[in-house]
Amino acid sequence: PGAIIAADGAVLLGVMGQHTANAGWIYFPCGTPDPSDVIDGSVDLDFSVRRELKEETGCEASAFTAAPGWTMVTDGGLMALIKTLRSRDNAERLRDRMLAHLASERQPELSDIRIVRGPADFDPAMPRFVTAFLRYHFEGS
């Protein structure tokens, strides 16, 4: 997935829609790879992040600066590779743009966009790999 970091340091997360398998869970709004991301026998993670970003938020990857490399978060047997995407826009502006995209879709995958500014904004509906990345982002550990 891709972690969207606003110019003000806030992280934007998506709330999964009620019609999805993970309804109500709060994730990075840049999805996970699917079969269309397999190119020449390998999963193209960069392509996956760009595709999911556009599908779920309406934002083009070119509007962000991607950090070099990936951040790996582990949680037991789960391993998540997260691409950090930085925006020049503040969190409110990004959220407004994303909500406008969601409103334009017949059945959006996300039902809301949350702004996270620190640990006080963590929610039990965030999987542990999400909060682990958030702790790393906000606290450096």
Tens-digit pLDDT profile for the chain (141 aa)? 999 999 999 999 999 999 999 999 999 998 777 788 788 899 889 989 999 999 999 999 999 999 999 999 988 888 999 999 999 999 999 999 999 999 999 999 999 999 999 999 999 999 999 999 999 999 985
Q: What is the pLDDT of residue 39?
A: 87
Side-chain-side CA neighbours of 70 within 13 Å: the count stands at 13
Residue with tokens 């020049």: 88
Cα dihedral: 85, 10, 22, 127 (round 10): 100
pLDDT at site 141 = 53
Q: What is the pLDDT of residue 33?
A: 79
